[in-house]
Amino acid sequence: MKQIWIVDDEADFRMLIQTMLKKEGFNVRQVESGEQCLELL
């Protein structure tokens, strides 16, 4: 399964994009900042 990260400070936007990408078969992870993303990578 393909994995994609969504990094954005707007929670509603992240949820919208996550819903769309999951329907396309992506495993989606989301965080609100670049710092959070780097900590988890």
Q: What average pLDDT does the segment 3-15 reach?
A: 96
Whole-model pTM? 0.79
Q: Looking at residue 24, what is its pLDDT?
A: 95
1 or 24, which is more confident: 24
Checking if the pLDDT of 2 tops 90, the result is yes
Q: Residue 36: CB partners within 8 Å, gap ≥ 6?
A: 7
Each residue's pLDDT tens digit, 13-38: 999 999 999 999 999 999 999 999 99
